[in-house]
Amino acid sequence: MLKKKKKEDMETPEGLNEIINENEQTDAQAAENAPSAVDVLKEEVSAANDKYLRLYAEFDNFRRRTVKEREEARKMEGKDVIAALLPVLDDFERALRSMEGASDVTPVREGVILVQNKLKSILTQKGLKEMESIGSPFDPELQEAITNIPAPTDEWKGKVIDEMEKGYFLNDKVIRFAKVIVGA
C-alpha cells in the first residue's frame, strides 16, 4: 500500500515536493547529530595520545623493574659460593683454636691439609679447575712469564720449568693466568 501511495504522490508535483522536503529534513537532522570531521580527528588524536602515554609509562616501569632486578642479582650472585665456603671457614677457626694448645705439629698439619682438600673440592664443584703448567710449552694466552732461566737440557727450552702462582679456569675460561718461569 505504501508503494501505491508513493507512486501516486510521485505522480503529482505536490507529493514529490513533500517527499523531497522529508528527505532534506532527515538529512539535516543526521548532519546535526553526526560529529564533524574535526571532532572525529580530535577524538582519534586524544585516544592515540592516551595510548602513547600509557605505553610510555608501562615501558618506564619495566625499565625500572629490570634495573632493580639486575642490581639485586649482582648483589646475590656469589651467594651460593660463599654459603658453600662457610664450612671451610669454620674448619679454619677450629684449626686455629687447636694450634694454640698443640705441642705436636703433625696433627695440625694433617688438619690443615684436610681443610685445603675440602676447599679445593668445593671450588671444583663450582667450576674451578687448576692449570697444569710445569713441563708444558709456554703459552702466552694461559701463562705469564715472570723470568727466563737457562734450561737444564735442550728439551726444557721454551717450556715451563717452575710455577710461582697457579693459574685457574672457571668453566673453561681463564680467571687467573699462571705466573711461570720459562727455560731459555
For 23-52, write each residue's pLDDT tens digit: 666 665 655 667 788 889 999 999 999 999
On whether residue 97 sits in a domain, the answer given is: no
On whether residue 159 sits in a domain, the answer given is: yes
Question: Is the pLDDT assigned to residue 22 strictly greater than 80?
Answer: no
160 with 138: CB under 8 angstroms?
A: yes
The amino acid at 130: E
Domains identified in the chain, total number: 1
The amino acid at 152: P
Quote the cell numbers at residue 96.
686455629
Asked whether the CA dihedral 76, 81, 84, 89 is positive or negative, the reply is negative
Q: Using 50, 70 and 90 to split pLDDT, how confident is the model at 59?
A: very high
143 with 160: CB under 8 angstroms?
A: yes
Q: Where are the alpha helices (DSSP H) in the chain?
A: 2-11, 13-33, 37-76, 79-100, 105-125
On whether residue 148 sits in a domain, the answer given is: yes
On whether residue 23 sits in a domain, the answer given is: no
Round to whole Å and give the CA distance between 46 and 40. Answer: 10
Q: What is the pLDDT of residues 82-137, one digit of tens each?
A: 888 888 888 888 888 877 877 787 888 888 888 888 888 888 888 888 888 888 88
More confident residue, 1 or 51: 51
Considering the chain, what is the average pLDDT of its residues?
Answer: 82
- The phi, psi pair for 179, rounded to 5°, reads -100, 115
Estimate the crossing angle of helix 13-33 against helix 2-11, to 10 degrees: 110
Closest CA to 88 of 124, 55, 133, 60: 124
On whether residue 101 sits in a domain, the answer given is: no
- The phi, psi pair for 130, rounded to 5°, reads -80, 150
Residues 6+ apart with CB under 8 A from 144: 177, 178, 179, 180
Round to whole Å and give the CA distance between 110 and 97. Answer: 15
Q: Which domain holds residue 136?
A: 128-184
On whether residue 136 sits in a domain, the answer given is: yes
On whether residue 95 sits in a domain, the answer given is: no
Count how many Cα atoms sit within 13 Å of the Cα of residue 28 in the half-sphere of its side chain.
6
Round to whole Å and give the CA distance between 133 and 166. Answer: 8
User: What is the model's pLDDT at position 21?
Assistant: 64
**Is the whole-model pTM more than 0.75?**
no
On whether residue 78 sits in a domain, the answer given is: no
The amino acid at 24: E
- Residue 141 sits in a domain whose CATH number is 2.30.22.10
Average pLDDT of the segment spanning 46-68: 95
